[in-house]
Amino acid sequence: MSMNNNRQKLGIIAGEGKFPLLIAKEAKAKGFLVYVLGVKGNADIEVFKDYAEKTVLLKLGQLGHAIDFLKENGITTAVMAGRVQHVSIFSVMPDLRAAKTLAKAKDMRPKTILSAAINEFKKEGIEFTSSAIFLERFIPAKGALTKRAPTQDERQSINLGYKISKTLAGLDVGLTSVICDRAAIAVEGMEGTDNCIKRAGELYKNSAANKKAAIVVVKVARPNQDDRYDLPVIGKGTIRVMIEAGAKALAIEADKTLVLDIEEVIDLANKNDIAITAI
């Protein structure tokens, strides 16, 4: 038996962005053999070539094929990481196993579908672990992350945004709201956080008479968050979109939000006088 067969293995179901790549890097550094299953149209599996033993690209809905890939490679532990566009659900061509799973689902919300999918993997001896595996240092505790803390006016908008975002999250609609002068400009739907912020920026620039009032972004976790697939994530892209939209403060939920490239995120925010706080 080769030495490699004794090493721990980790399967990664990868969507878009840097999140799954960071897990692959950390896993390999810790001696894991990494196997990546990329979601077509979302993941770029070429970026994993230096970290993965094998990679495969499958369409969303190929549940049976995904299970087969992990089983064939002896994977019993896996993670989901990276964003998959929610609107992709409208173009899914499910294989037989996925079709049977979806037929039993009570609705088509992401939480419902992902929970059902995870249960199918579990039936085959594949357990999903926290998507923050090896990345705990990127999850900030309560307090200001940047040099500048939110102003009193910004905090009032944050308080409102927290209530709105938590309501959205509880309904499994979105995780983000954008507030200005204690009024909601935009709330997140299927378009995702960054596009929600862009939309808010356009609405603000086109209609706000008082451009002195600050735009505030609030992103939270869902109630009873399942960290196997449900971790809120922000990164440099979020800050860049905030700069473009004219947003001046970002509030995230402490101990539950992954901040990719956290040092660079904080540095970019500091350079643009954006306050980031974990609440």
pLDDT per residue as tens, the chain (279 positions): 233 456 799 999 999 889 999 999 999 999 999 999 999 888 899 999 999 999 999 988 899 999 999 999 999 999 999 887 655 555 567 888 888 888 888 887 777 888 889 999 999 999 999 988 999 999 999 999 999 999 999 999 999 999 999 999 998 889 999 999 889 999 999 889 999 999 999 998 887 555 677 899 999 999 888 888 878 999 999 999 999 999 999 999 999 999 999 999 999 999 999 999 999
Token pair of 51, please? 């970290």
Q: Do 17 and 114 share a domain, yes or no?
A: yes
Q: Do 271 and 151 share a domain, yes or no?
A: yes
Backbone angles phi, psi at 67, to 5 degrees: -60, -45
Element (H, E) at 239: helix 236-245
Q: Which of 84, 108, 128 is the last residue of a domain?
A: 128
In a 3-state reduction of DSSP, which class is residue 248?
A: strand
CATH of residue 143: 3.40.140.80
Token pair of 14, please? 């990868």
Q: Which of 128, 150, 175 is the last residue of a domain?
A: 128
Q: Which of 77, 102, 128 is the last residue of a domain?
A: 128
User: Which structural domain, as residue segments, surrounds residue 168?
Assistant: 138-278
Q: Answer whether residue 79 is part of any domain.
A: yes
Contact 279, 220 (CB under 8 A): no
Q: What is the pLDDT of residue 88?
A: 52
Give which of 64, 57, 53, 188 is closest to 126, Cα–Cα: 64
Q: What is the pLDDT of residue 216?
A: 97
The sign of the dihedral angle between the CA atoms of 4, 6, 8, 13 is: positive
Q: Answer whether residue 264 is part of any domain.
A: yes
Distance CA 21, CA 14 (A): 8
Q: Do 227 and 121 share a domain, yes or no?
A: no
Give the distance, in angstroms, between the CA of residue 37 and the centroid of all CA atoms in the same chain: 17
Strands of the sheet with 9-14, listed across from one edge: 54-58, 33-39, 9-14, 77-81, 127-128
Backbone dihedral region for residue 31 (phi beyond 0: left; psi -120 to 50: alpha; all else: beta): left
What is the number of domains present in the chain?
A: 2
In a 3-state reduction of DSSP, which class is residue 20?
A: helix
Residues facing 177 on adjacent strands: 187, 218
Token pair of 110, please? 């992401």
Distance CA 96, CA 109 (A): 20
Q: Answer whether residue 209 is part of any domain.
A: yes
Backbone dihedral region for residue 70 (phi beyond 0: left; psi -120 to 50: alpha; all else: beta): alpha
Q: Do 183 and 155 share a domain, yes or no?
A: yes
Q: What is the pLDDT of residue 101?
A: 87
Q: What is the pLDDT of residue 41?
A: 85
Distance CA 11, CA 32 (A): 10
User: Structure pTM?
Assistant: 0.83
Distance CA 79, CA 11 (A): 6
